[in-house]
Amino acid sequence: MSRIGKKPVPVPPNVTATVTGQTVKFTGPKGELQFTLPDKVRVEQGDGQLTVKPVDDSKQARAMWGMSRTTLANLIKGVTEGYSHTLEIQGVGYRAQLKGKDELQLTVGFSHDIIHKIPPGVEVKVGGARQEFITVSGIDKQLVGQVAAQIRAYKPPEPYQGKGIRYQGEYVFRKEGKKK
């Protein structure tokens, strides 16, 4: 039995949930998202909540049960509050800047600047005194996390000096340099 899957998903009053077959669509103050459930689970809409149930007792149905419930809860949070990740750039001369609305330019120690295309549905802001903070925000949790991970992957923090792009609050294990 899935402990997470058993919990009903509360639908706030400012969110409209529409269940059509295996597709669940949420409309809220921030936007609109939809999710197609796997065939092994079904969803029932009740008084202000959604309940996810497995179709049978197979291993795959139990595996999809908790995942589907969590995905629905994430979509509701996305259309009400949204998601954001803050990245921090550390290093002398390292900075970021926006070029238009759909490109992020990173100067992170390479002989060339890196241009990252920003997908639709994601908003990127650059802040800080030296343009060292990048805030990636949007309503789709998966897309926001993926864009933040792609930006971080251009120059992950290195363990000797700590230079690179990291998530805000991320601990970077530091190593001691060579001894003579």
Q: Using one digit for the tens of pLDDT, what is the confidence trace for 79-97?
A: 999 999 999 999 999 999 9
Q: What is the mean pLDDT of residues 98-104?
A: 91
When pLDDT is averaged across residues 27-55 and rounded to a whole number, the result is 92
Query: Which CATH superfamily is 83-167 part of?
Result: Ribosomal protein L6 (3.90.930.12)
Q: Is residue 100 over pLDDT 80? A: yes
The dihedrals phi and psi of 36, each to the nearest 5 degrees, come to -100, 120
C-alpha torsion angle, residues 171, 127, 139, 165 (rounded to 10)? -30
Q: Residue ranges per domain, the chain?
A: 3-80, 83-167
Do residues 132 and 75 touch, judged by C-beta distance below 8 A?
no
What's residue 2's pLDDT? 66
d(CA 55, CA 34): 21
Ordered DSSP codes for 114-135: EEEEPPTTEEEEEESTTS-EEE
Which amino acid makes up residue 173?
A: F
- Alpha carbons within 13 angstroms on the beta-carbon side of residue 81 total 8
Q: Which pLDDT value is given to residue 179? A: 86
Q: Do domains 3-80 and 83-167 have the same CATH topology?
A: yes
pTM for this predicted structure: 0.89
- Beta carbons within 8 Å of 117's beta carbon, 6+ residues apart: 102, 103
- Give the mean pLDDT of 157-177: 93
Cα–Cα dist 32/134, whole Å: 25
Lookup: tokens for 86: 């803050």
Q: Which CATH number fits domain 3-80: 3.90.930.12, 3.40.50.150, 3.90.1150.10, 3.40.50.2000?
A: 3.90.930.12
pLDDT tier at 1 (50, 70, 90 boundaries)?
A: low
Q: Give the C-alpha separation, 87 to 121, whole Å.
A: 18
Answer whether residue 16 shows pLDDT above 70: yes
Strand order in the sheet with 114-117: 95-98, 103-107, 114-117
What percent of the chain is modeled with pLDDT above 90?
Answer: 83
